[in-house]
Amino acid sequence: MSLIPPREDNQEEAPEPEDAGEESAPAEKREEGHTLDSLKIYFQEICKVALLTREEEVELSQRIEKGDMAARQHMIEANLRLVVNIGKRYRNRGLPFLDIISEGNLGLIRAVEKFDWRRGFKLSTYASWWIKQSIERAFVNQLRTIRLPVHIDDRLSRLLRTLAKATQQYGERPSDQELAELMDTTVEEVQRLMGLVRDAQSLDVPVADESGTTLGDLVEDQGAISPSHVIEIFKRHELIDQWLTGLSDSERRVIELRFGFDDNGEGKTLQEIGKEFGVTRERIRQIEGQALKKLRHIVRDYGAVLEEFLLD
């Protein structure tokens, strides 16, 4: 079974019609029909493979560890439906569904290769992370091909330089208001530019200076405590509420305020949280660090090795 949904690309291209205005609509309908046919065939094929029981997953995993490629292929094919189910959430966002499935399949393959059956969790729990990451990276790569207007690119570069300098100087990410004051601009402009960064979600975009700093350095290094990208992973996962129950009341509240888990979704500075608690910002930093250490262990217990997602 092919892990790539079938396409019609191998057919000989038809010549361009002289009157594109009259023929373009039927051509688009034919192309859409080919895509739907390909998806239908693919769905029929993957549904022929039975889902695995926990015992079967363990058996296949043990065989995979011994280099059994047939077991690896069986494990992958039995979980292709999981990719489709996850991929449906990303439809109508700018990538063809066939491409979404193909990218998700790459994540599934990686998950099968790295899955450790000894942790006691099903592959689907672990693989969901890799599938989502692979699909989301495809969207990021697509965004990188879109060139911003020069004046927007210049403003964004200035914002990132200011953000890097302020973060290094104060030991934490400045608020949007503080950034606006440093750049002599409005909060709305800062938020608009930061929206471009968040939309891309890229951690290796270089900042326009000579330091070699990347956007990931700015986003991830928040007072050398924890990558905020980790929190973005937490935010997207359906188990976040369950994970946070493993924290003390104060730890949970600090995390909620720090990373915008409350109603307005806007993270607060250490100083702002310290005022709410009636303690110093350094004390809040300590509570945050303790909470994030606990969260790392909690996530690992669910079979998701956090460093793999950050470093892969």
Least confident residue range of 157-161, 164-168, 192-196, 214-218:
214-218
Angle at 161 between CA 158 and CA 162, to 5 degrees: 85
**Could you give the CA distance from residue 261 to residue 283 in angstroms, rounded to a whole number?**
20
pLDDT at 60: 96
Which of 128-132, 203-207, 222-226, 302-306 has the least mean pLDDT? 222-226
Q: What percent of the chain has pLDDT over 90?
A: 21
Which of the two residues, 185 and 166, has the higher pLDDT score?
185
User: Residue 293 — pLDDT band, cuts 50, 70, 90?
Assistant: confident
In the predicted structure, residue 284 carries a pLDDT above the cut 50: yes
**Which amino acid is residue 294, in one-letter code?**
K
Note the pLDDT tens digit of each residue in 192-236: 877 665 544 444 444 433 444 444 444 433 333 333 444 444 544
Could you give the CA distance from residue 190 to residue 277 in angstroms, rounded to a whole number? 28
- The model's confidence at residue 277, banded by pLDDT at 50, 70 and 90, is very high
List the beta bridge partners of residue 206. Answer: 214
The pLDDT score that the predictor gives to residue 139 is 74
pLDDT confidence of residue 74: 95
Residues 6+ apart with CB under 8 A from 3: 76, 77, 80, 102, 105, 109
Token pair recorded at residue 249: 């009341």
Higher pLDDT, 264 or 59: 59
DSSP 140-202: HHHHHTSPPPHHHHHHHHHHHHHHHHHHHHHSSPPPHHHHHHHHTS-HHHHHHHHHHHHHH--
Query: Residue 57: pLDDT above 90?
Result: yes
Query: Which comes out higher in pLDDT, residue 285 or 136?
Result: 285
Render the chain in DSSP notation, one character per residue: --SS---STTSPPPPPPS-HHHHHHHHHHHHHHHHHHHHHHHHHHHTTSPPPPHHHHHHHHHHHHTT-HHHHHHHHHTTHHHHHHHHGGGTTSSS-HHHHHHHHHHHHHHHHHH--GGG---HHHHHHHHHHHHHHHHHHHHHHTSPPPHHHHHHHHHHHHHHHHHHHHHSSPPPHHHHHHHHTS-HHHHHHHHHHHHHH--S-PBPSSSS--BHHHHHH-STTS--HHHHHHHHHSTTHHHHHTTS-HHHHHHHHHHTT-STT-----HHHHHHHHTS-HHHHHHHHHHHHHHHHHHHHHTT--HHHHHH-
Choose between 147 and 106: higher pLDDT: 106
Q: Give me the residue label for tokens 């809040």.
A: 284
Tens of pLDDT, residues 75-91: 999 999 999 999 998 88
Torsion-angle region of 173 (φ positive above 0: left; ψ -120 to 50: alpha; else: beta):
beta
Report pLDDT for 278.
Answer: 93
Decide: pTM greater than 0.85: no
Q: What is the pLDDT of residue 168?
A: 59
Residue 285 has pLDDT above 70, yes or no: yes
Among 125-129, 145-149, 305-309, the range scoring the smallest mean pLDDT is 305-309
